[in-house]
Amino acid sequence: MWNRAFVIIIFDAISCESCKAFFRRNAPKGLDYFKCPYEEKCKMDVSNRRFCKKCRLRKCFEIGMRKEYILTEEEKLRKRQRIEENRKIREIEKQKMQSGDVSTTQNRLRMLEQDELSMISEVIGAYRQSLEISVESSYSRNNPSVIDLVNIAELSVRRVIDMAKKIKSFKALSQSDQISLLKGGSIELLIIRSVINFDRDKQQFLDPFDKDSNAMTTEQLKLGEGTLFDDHMKFVKSLAVDLRADETVLIILLVISLFSPDRPNVIDKSYVWREQDKYALLLQHYLESKFPYHLAHIMYPKLLMKLVEIRNLNEEHSQVLLKVNPEGIQPLMKEVLDLNLPKTNNK
């Protein structure tokens, strides 16, 4: 369908510039807008793709292109402004380096603005206050099944919900969009949260102030789903150890993931996108306040790429959950994870 000389990643799929333009123009209209004169059996390749818009658009969807990634005019403007801001920053740094002040430029730290400090204070406060939520649990930690692990995670889910509802910009959303963001991002939010409460010395997961009996060790977790556990731990260590992500970085990442406009059923995508963009910029500036400029700009894209990796890990968790019989799952977890339909394979 595409010319291999010009293959690129477009709207979350491998495609070409020609299909990029076609998809941007036609995807918002939907398949039903078009008609196929050949019973919708057209073969799509470079030579004949121009003859049937419906089959070409269907092919775009089949290879994974997503219309949610098409930016609105407002989003395009915001993106251009961000690119221009970064260009100006690079130009200023280049001028300073050319003037001979290399050492100062390389090692200076950004001073955060007052509104940025307030944003950080708000999300950290929301996270720490959420730790006051408690739920009595009697589920086995010594030899946990997948169902046990899902039910044990209920406390973390309640704390994620409580944290989100303490963030002003999240509360400004409609209730339906709040639910869509929490449900759509539940697994990813729990994964990031697990990085925050992982104790490397004790090799266990436990929130501050929780009883030791609530701790889940890595050995206990491995009994639930070994292969998935290995991938999960690689992700945890890559953030906590390799990228030296502190609590503030992880909490900001948590909020960036929370404000994902491509979650199913989100209505006000533009608002959610703006909030995500705002916290992504906050993460960049926070890193620049803690690390020399050149190091911060290496860490920043690597941290954002973790949000891409976590999508794959989310899919692995979802595949495991598809095998679970929901009868033994607590109501909240059924609702958040969409486990209300009966499954054929019990565990």
**Residue 331 CB partners (closer than 8 Å, separation 6+):** none
Say which residue, 63 or 151, is predicted with more confidence.
151
- Categorize the per-residue pLDDT at 345 as very low, low, confident or very high, splitting at 50, 70 and 90: very low
Residue 193's pLDDT band (cuts 50, 70, 90): very high
Which of the four pLDDT bands, split at 50, 70 and 90, describes residue 3? very low
Give the pLDDT confidence score for residue 252 in this predicted structure: 97
Number of C-beta neighbours around residue 149 at 10 A: 21
Query: Which pLDDT value is given to residue 9?
Result: 44
Rounded distance between C-alpha atoms, residue 325 and residue 151, angstroms: 13
- Please write the tens of the pLDDT for every residue from 78-128: 777 777 777 777 676 666 655 555 455 556 899 999 999 999 999 999 999
> What pLDDT sits at residue 346?
41
With a pLDDT cut of 70, the percent of the chain lying above it is 81
Cβ contact 254:192 at 8 Å: yes
Which pair of tokens denotes residue 224? 């639930």
Per-residue pLDDT tens for 278-305? 999 999 999 999 999 889 989 999 999 9
Q: What is the mean pLDDT of residues 46-55?
A: 77
On the CB side of 113, CA atoms within 13 Å amount to: 8
**Band of the pLDDT at 223, cuts 50, 70, 90?**
low
Other beta carbons within 10 angstroms of residue 2's beta carbon come to 20
pLDDT tens digits, residue range 127-149?
Answer: 999 999 887 666 656 667 788 88
Provide the pLDDT for residue 8: 44
Global pTM value: 0.69
Condensed to tens digits (0 to 9), the pLDDT of residues 227-283 reads 778 888 889 888 887 888 899 999 999 999 999 999 999 999 999 999 999 999 999
Q: What is the pLDDT of residue 314?
A: 86
Answer yes or no: is pLDDT of 343 > 50.
Answer: no
- pLDDT computed for residue 33 by the predictor: 86
What's the token pair of residue 300?
């920043």
The confidence band for 225, taking pLDDT boundaries of 50, 70 and 90, is low
Average pLDDT, the chain: 82
Specify the pLDDT at position 87.
Answer: 74
Q: What is the pLDDT of residue 205?
A: 86
Question: CA-CA distance, 338 to 238, in Å (whole number)?
Answer: 29
